[in-house]
């Protein structure tokens, strides 16, 4: 498999996962702004911070606009020069899928192309104006359909493994960023009912509400939510599940038989990240969660850079804190 095809597969997975993540965070934040007793800036500033776009947004729209939900949603949905917006991301996903039409399944291409036309055409604009919840839900379901089709209609060989490697590393980074930003804000002292509602909203933002409730008993606390999103090996969006899955895909792509083989350093960088994801890593001071999540974010970013260097022969172009295809 040539490096160019592998790179497009990897980035297709990352862009599809990022698209679903942005839609999910915007959907959750919009509901949080309506239901929770929080100042507007505590609702919308985190949405910008998660995707590393706070400085870019403030430069373009002003700091005061950070508390304007409509301005933030427009910025993260429609502005094509914003590397984290839904429109920019779906365009990048479609470009990668189109380039490797002979590799991805026809069903996957059709769903990706349909989602592109939805977001760039009048249908998406009309849905955005009529029902914000329905708009974000439509995007999420289309991406989930596409990922399901990738799993069920493609050969489980090298191209598919590069796609899922991209999905898992992107998901690990997004879960870490989401938990890091919100854990700090939600941990501030609030009424117990409000606090519980906030932690449940964070679980919904990670599609983890039902799995958490099925596996957890007792009061919903920040520590319990953080432990679930970090360590739960059965939950497909936990950081541990994603990094362990990434390790398996990397192991298939580069079975180490000789020193200096491409991917050897990637595996060696990934092992300590997985080993650190144990409950005792949160024991100690209150900053333990933030410190651990920072290491996860930085570790996954560094790993993606190594993958680009070792497998594709170049480093990704950086836009904000989000890596974009070169």
Average pLDDT of 298-307?
A: 94
Mean pLDDT of 139-146: 97
Q: What is the DSSP string of 65-79?
A: GGG-HHHHHHHHHT-
Identify the DSSP state of 315.
Answer: P
Task: Tell me which range, 38-52, 176-190, 280-294, is most confidently predicted by mean pLDDT.
Answer: 38-52
Q: pLDDT class for 320, splitting at 50, 70, 90?
A: very low
Query: Which uninterrupted H or E stretch holds 324?
Result: strand 322-324
Distance CA 255, CA 92 (A): 30
Could you tell me the CA-to-CA distances from 5 to 10, 56, 105, 162, 168 in Å, in that order? 9, 32, 14, 10, 19
Q: What is the pLDDT of residue 291?
A: 87
pLDDT of residue 324: 42
- pLDDT at site 176: 93
Q: Show me where the domains of the chain are located.
A: 3-321
Q: Tell me which of 212 and 319 has the higher pLDDT.
A: 212
Measuring CA to CA, which residue among 14, 317, 314 is closest to residue 162?
A: 14
Confidence grade of residue 287 (pLDDT, cut at 50, 70, 90): low
Is the overall model pTM greater than 0.85, yes or no?
A: yes
pLDDT interval class at 259 (50, 70, 90)? low
Could you tell me which residues come within 8 angstroms of residue 67 by beta carbon, excluding any fewer than 6 positions away?
Answer: 39, 40, 41, 44, 45
Look at residues 70, 97, 105, 87 and name the one whose alpha carbon lies nearest to residue 23. Answer: 87
Place of tokens 């599940």: 241
Say yes or no to pLDDT of 46 above 50: yes
Q: How confident is the model at residue 283 (pLDDT cuts 50, 70, 90)?
A: low
For residue 12, the model assigns a pLDDT of: 97
Q: Which residues contact 200 (CB under 8 A, 6 or more apart)?
A: 209, 220
Mean pLDDT computed over 201-216: 90
Q: Measured between alpha carbons, how far is residue 25 from residues 7, 143, 211, 318 in Å? A: 27, 14, 18, 22
Chain mean pLDDT for the chain: 88
SS3 322: strand
pLDDT at 216 over 60: yes
Q: Which residues contact 64 (CB under 8 A, 6 or more apart)?
A: none
Rounded Cα–Cα distance for residues 256 and 272 (Å): 17
Confidence band of 261 (pLDDT split at 50, 70, 90): confident
State yes or no: pLDDT of 231 exceeds 90: yes
Do 293 and 326 meet the contact criterion of CB atoms below 8 Å apart?
no
**Residue 313: is its pLDDT beyond 90?**
no
The pLDDT value given to residue 33: 85
Report whether pLDDT(187) > 70. no
Locate 11 and state its tokens: 């980035």
Cα(134)–Cα(22) distance, rounded to whole angstroms?
A: 14
Residue 262, token pair as written in the block: 């491409």
Tell me, what's the pLDDT at 236? 95
Best mean pLDDT range from 46-60, 128-142, 197-211, 222-236:
128-142
pLDDT band, residue 115 (cuts 50/70/90) = very high
pLDDT tens, position by position, 100-112? 999 999 999 999 9
């Amino acid at each position: 498999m040539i490096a160019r095809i592998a790179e497009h597969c990897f980035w297709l997975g990352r862009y599809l996962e990022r698209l679903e993540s942005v839609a999910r965070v915007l959907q959750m934040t919009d509901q949080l702004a309506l239901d929770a007793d929080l100042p507007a800036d505590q609702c919308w500033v985190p949405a910008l911070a998660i995707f590393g776009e706070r400085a870019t947004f403030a430069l373009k729209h002003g700091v005061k606009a950070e508390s304007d939900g409509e301005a933030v949603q427009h910025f993260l949905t429609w502005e094509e020069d914003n590397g984290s917006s839904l429109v920019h991301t779906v365009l990048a996903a479609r470009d990668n899928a189109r380039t490797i039409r002979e590799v991805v399944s026809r069903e996957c291409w059709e769903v990706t192309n349909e989602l592109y036309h939805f977001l760039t055409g009048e249908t998406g604009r009309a849905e955005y104006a009529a029902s914000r919840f329905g708009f974000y839900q439509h995007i999420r379901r289309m991406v989930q359909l596409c990922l399901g089709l990738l799993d069920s209609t493609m050969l489980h060989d090298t191209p598919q493994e590069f796609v899922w490697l991209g999905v898992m590393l992107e998901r690990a980074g997004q879960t870490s960023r989401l938990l890091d930003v919100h854990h700090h804000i939600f941990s501030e002292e609030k009424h117990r009912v409000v606090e519980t509602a906030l932690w449940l909203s964070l679980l919904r933002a990670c599609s983890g509400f039902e799995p958490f409730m099925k596996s957890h008993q007792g009061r919903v606390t920040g520590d319990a939510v953080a432990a679930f999103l970090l360590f739960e090996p059965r939950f497909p969006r936990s950081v541990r599940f994603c990094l362990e899955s990434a390790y398996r895909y990397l192991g298939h792509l580069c079975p180490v038989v000789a020193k200096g083989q491409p991917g050897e350093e990637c595996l060696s960088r990934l092992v300590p990240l997985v080993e650190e994801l144990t409950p005792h890593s949160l024991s100690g001071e209150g900053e333990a969660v933030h410190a651990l999540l920072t290491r996860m974010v930085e570790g996954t970013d560094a790993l993606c850079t190594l993958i680009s260097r070792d497998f594709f022969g170049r480093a990704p172009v950086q836009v904000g804190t989000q890596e974009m295809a070169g």
